[in-house]
Amino acid sequence: MQSTKSQTSNVQIQDPPNSQMANKEPEIITDKTQMRKWSRGMRSQGKTIGFVPTMGFLHEGHIALVKEARNHADLVVVSIYVNPGQFSPSEDLSTYPSDINGDIQKLMAVPGGVDVVFHPHNLYDYGTTNPSVENVNGSGGDEERNVGVVSCLENNGLGHETWVKVERLEKGMCGKSRPVFFRGVATVVTKLFNIVDPDVALFGKKDYQQLRIIQRMVRDLDFAIKIIGSEIVRESDGLAMSSRNVHLSPEEREQALSISRSLSRARIAAEKGQINCRELKESVIKAIEEAGGRVDYAEIVDQESLVAVEEIKSPVVFCVAAWFGKVRLIDNMEIDM
């Protein structure tokens, strides 16, 4: 057992299974005041910061973003924070998987390593305690407050009431079945951008609507941060990597392959001239339902505006969300015409 270098961490990191693979230990920062101090210090030395926000339980999709961040900045910060503000009370916040030690070991194996893992206990003030002036200014400790609160939506929103909404882009697709999801995402990303103060931030195309929402938010609100979208990383059989895949039974996992397989077939069909979106969507929905899934949505939308199209005549993305048992998966494929 070996502890981290950081005085700000209470996370104990185990040695990686193969110490040959380890590059460097990231500094673990759990307090937002410390995180800001680190970033300001590095920026005053002229260093650029690349940032990868995650909810942890890292897989190769996340690691690809971290590797890409190394190509764009001197230093890399990865945040690991399961954001309660994007889960409605009926959603899977309490069962969202986590493995902080495993995550840190994976990050230590990335060539060049990671400089900081920002792992706050809580980024919200829910009003469950009497907020002091220090808390409001963010200079109080984050850690001892608000333990045990399940969702930001609890307590009638007392304590936290400011939300970032990207009005049109957040409405369709995932926004329909998860009405508070994107305001939670945009808000926490804003908070993280304010705390970490990066030059560049990386997001996966796996969450395509999220990527477009963050790009629009950054443009509309003048964040001086370059947003880079990274390609989807898939398992060898085509399943898009996701932290939620761990909850799939072997049977559900097999069924879930119907998403990527039917999307691939649709893309090939489109490239061969089948450009009618209704027919393409019907074929994907049929394939997923026949496999045993329940489709939440299947939409073919413009890559930039995310407006649905009837025929494929310009670059589009085919986005799907479907349930397999209790697990909701999303996936998409770009079709460039």
Between the alpha carbon of residue 86 and those of residues 48, 174, 235, the distances in Å are 29, 12, 26
In one letter, which amino acid is 316?
Answer: V
Counting contacts by CB under 6 A, is residue 281 touching ligand AMP? no
Give how far the C-alpha of residue 192 lies from the chain's centroid of Cα atoms, to the nearest Å.
12
What tokens appear for 290 in the block? Answer: 């026949």
- Least Å distance between CB 86 and ligand AMP? 9
- Yes or no: say if 119 and 81 are a contact pair by the CB < 8 Å rule: yes
Q: Is-contact 103 15, C-beta < 8 A?
A: no
Angle of CA points 320, 326, 331, to nearest 5°? 20
Q: Please say which residue, 140 or 204, places its beta carbon nearer to ligand AMP.
A: 204
Min dist CB 242 to ligand AMP, Å, is 6
112-171 binders of ligand AMP (CB under 6 A): none
| Nearest 10 degrees: Cα torsion 87, 92, 97, 103 | -10
Rule CB under 6 A: say whether 233 interacts with ligand AMP: yes
243 binds ligand AMP per the rule CB under 6 A: yes
Distance between CA atoms of residues 14 and 117, nearest Å:
15
Kindly indicate which of the ranges 34-42, 152-160, 238-246, 247-255 contains the residues binding ligand AMP, using the contact rule CB under 6 A: 238-246
CB of 321 to ligand AMP, least distance (A): 14
Residue 11 contacts residue 4 (beta carbons within 8 Å): yes
77 touches ligand AMP by CB under 6 A: no
Nearby residues of 170 by Cβ (< 8 Å), 6 or more positions away: 181, 182, 183, 186, 209, 213
Q: Cα-flanking dihedrals φ and ψ of residue 336, to 5°?
A: -100, 105
Site for ligand AMP in 201-230 (CB under 6 A): 203-204, 206-207, 230
Minimum separation from the CB atom of position 273 to ligand AMP (A): 29
Residue nearest to ligand AMP (CB): 204
Q: How many angstroms separate the CA atoms of 261 and 269, rounded?
A: 12
Active site residues: 62
61 makes contact with ligand AMP (CB under 6 A): yes
Piece of the chain touching ligand AMP by CB under 6 A; list 17-25, 104-112, 235-243, 287-295: 235-243
- Residue 104 as a binder of ligand AMP (CB under 6 A): the answer is no
Using CB under 6 A, pick the residue from 123, 232, 259, 306 that binds ligand AMP.
Answer: 232
User: Which range binds ligand AMP by CB under 6 A, 38-46, 55-63, 300-308, 315-323?
Assistant: 55-63
Per-position x/- string for 3-42, each x denoting binding to ligand AMP as judged by CB under 6 A, each - no binding: ----------------------------------------
Stretch that binds ligand AMP, among 31-39, 60-68, 151-159, 274-282 (CB under 6 A): 60-68
Whether the Cβ atoms of residue 145 and residue 169 lie closer than 8 Å to each other: no
Query: Which residue among 69, 241, 248, 321 contacts ligand AMP (CB under 6 A)?
Result: 241
Of the candidates 274, 323, 324, the one whose C-alpha atom is nearest the C-alpha of residue 300 is: 274
- From the list 62-70, 216-224, 272-280, 289-297, the region that binds ligand AMP by CB under 6 A is 62-70
The answer to the question of residue 240 lying near ligand AMP (CB under 6 A) is: yes
242 binds ligand AMP (CB under 6 A): yes
What count of other Cβ atoms lies within 10 Å of the Cβ of residue 283? 16
Nearest approach in angstroms of CB 210 to ligand AMP is 6
- Which two three-digit tokens encode residue 264? 């691939």
C-alpha 233/C-alpha 204 separation (Å) is: 9
The verdict on 257 binding ligand AMP (CB under 6 A) reads no
Which residues, other chains included, contact 124 with Cβ-Cβ below 8 Å and sequence gap of 6+? 84, 85, 146, 149, 152, 159, 160
Contact set with ligand AMP (CB under 6 A):
54-55, 61-62, 64-65, 203-204, 206-207, 230, 232-233, 240-243
